[in-house]
Structure 1
């Protein structure tokens, strides 16, 4: 068993195909197939099922996939430790990011500071819903992820705090209020924002014993804002998820805080910060500082 075989196995599982894995790794498809076949023969198990549409990991393969990622993570940590000892800054950090708060507001500032200090470290970013990012961290697909805190399953690094706000069209009667209650939103056509927001908004109403009248479920911010702009519904979103230029692009959309105020914390989650690779620890430390300037 070699590190290369494990790397190929992980890539095949993530890309769900031999051809896609070969393109990502820059090797031939036959080399990928050979590596998987040899690894399966050595372990005497079937790791993947070769289906017509895609390659699927077997149940046992899924368990061994976690082990493979752990081994490759330790290998990367050893490489980075050695590079640091030689005075070099090399290696790879894999980041999971969700929604506009992390991808548009936090990541650019953090990456700019990180690149300035560690230009030789490669950064790989995967984006998806917050639930997916949590799964990626748990499965070791990424080294560190952005998430809504608290989360007792992981080591965490708090970065920013904001509040949930209601979005209504400027001519709507609720726009005249300084703050809006959940009760005032019930019965109105509601736009449920996906990509992580629904995981905050739906429990918020449920815990208050309320149920919004959901007309639409949307994952794209521009679509949500367009519907509110057309007075086709109201919504609730985190303040930091809103675009900087919303006043220019959607001047008829106004944001009002909820009453009572609902706070939200966003930060980093890691399986074990103290045992993370040097590049991951450096990223977490730089993120603490860079996030202070983000609003």
Structure 2
């Protein structure tokens, strides 16, 4: 078993195909197939199902994929630490980000400073919803990810706190109220955004023994805002997730009483085992956002 074999296995699994994997790795498809077959022979199990239109993981492949990513991550850490000893700053960093809060509000400032100090680190950003980022961390698809805290599954670092606010159509009677209570949002159609706070919102309603009348579930905050502006329902969102320059025609933003806080932080599997690139990113993020 070699690092090259494990890398090819991971790329084929992530791209769900031999052709795409070959293109990304810059080698022939036959080389990808041969290398993967040799790995399967060495392990004595089948990793990829080949008789379908897409390459799919077998049961063994699904179980071993996180381990392969872990081994490759540790190998990258060794390479980066060796480069640091030689006075170099090389390596890669894969970040999981969700929603406007991290992708638009936090990441640009952090990456601007990070790029100046570590210009040779290759950074890849994978974007999804908050639950996807947690899954990517569990599967070791990303080195570090933005998450809603608390999260006891990882080593975490708090970065910033905001609060939940209500989005109300301007034509709705609730728009005349200065503050909204959760119960107000249960008597009208509700739009649940899964862009970064879905679990938190569900917990808030459950804590008050309330059940919102969910009409829509969206994965993009902009869709939620557009639906509210059209009068399709109300929504509960994180204040920092709202675009700064977006006109509020068609809806209003109202404070929620009592205040419901949300803490955003960075998470990773193990601070001790993290690569120098990941450790530097976390350190810089904490310094910038805890000013």
Aligned to 1:268: 266
Aligned to 1:257: 255
* 2-structure distance, mates of 1:23, 1:257: 50
> In the TM superposition, what is the alpha-carbon distance from 1:291 to its structure 2 partner?
2.8
Structure 1 contact 191–235 (Cα < 8 Å) conserved: yes
* 2-structure distance, mates of 1:201, 1:17: 37
* 1-structure distance, mates of 2:272, 2:176: 50
Match of 2:158, SS state, is strand
Q: Where in structure 2 are the equivalents of 1:93-172 lying within 5 Å?
A: 93-172=93-172
Structure 2 contact 169–231 (Cα < 8 Å) conserved: yes
Aligned to 1:285: 283
> Is residue 238 from structure 1 mapped to residue 221 from structure 2 by the alignment?
no
- Where structure 2 has 5 or more consecutive residues not aligned to the other structure, the ranges are none
Aligned to 1:200: 200
RMSD: 1.4
Aligned to 1:15: 15
Aligned to 1:90: 90
> In the TM superposition, what is the alpha-carbon distance from 1:96 to its structure 2 partner?
0.9
Taking a change above 3 Å as real, the CA distance of residues 51 and 133 of structure 1, as seen in their structure-2 partners, is farther
**Alignment TM-score, normalising by the size of structure 2:** 0.96
* 1-structure distance, mates of 2:268, 2:279: 10
> In the TM superposition, what is the alpha-carbon distance from 1:178 to its structure 2 partner?
2.1
Match of 2:180, SS state, is coil
Aligned to 2:3: 3
* 1-structure distance, mates of 2:183, 2:287: 38
* 2-structure distance, mates of 1:223, 1:73: 36
Structure 1 contact 168–234 (Cα < 8 Å) conserved: yes
Structure 2 contact 165–253 (Cα < 8 Å) conserved: yes
Structure 1 contact 137–143 (Cα < 8 Å) conserved: yes
> In the TM superposition, what is the alpha-carbon distance from 1:228 to its structure 2 partner?
1.3
> In the TM superposition, what is the alpha-carbon distance from 1:51 to its structure 2 partner?
3.4
* 2-structure distance, mates of 1:291, 1:131: 23
Match of 1:216, SS state, is strand
* 2-structure distance, mates of 1:165, 1:126: 27
Match of 1:190, SS state, is strand
Deviates most, 278-287 or 58-67: 58-67
Aligned to 1:179: 179
**Alignment TM-score, normalising by the size of structure 1:** 0.95
* 1-structure distance, mates of 2:260, 2:78: 43
> In the TM superposition, what is the alpha-carbon distance from 1:196 to its structure 2 partner?
3.1
Structure 1 contact 94–143 (Cα < 8 Å) conserved: yes
- The aligned length equals 291
The list of structure 1 runs, each at least 4 consecutive aligned residues, that deviate by more than 3 angstroms after superposition, is none
Structure 2 contact 8–21 (Cα < 8 Å) conserved: yes
Match of 2:249, SS state, is coil
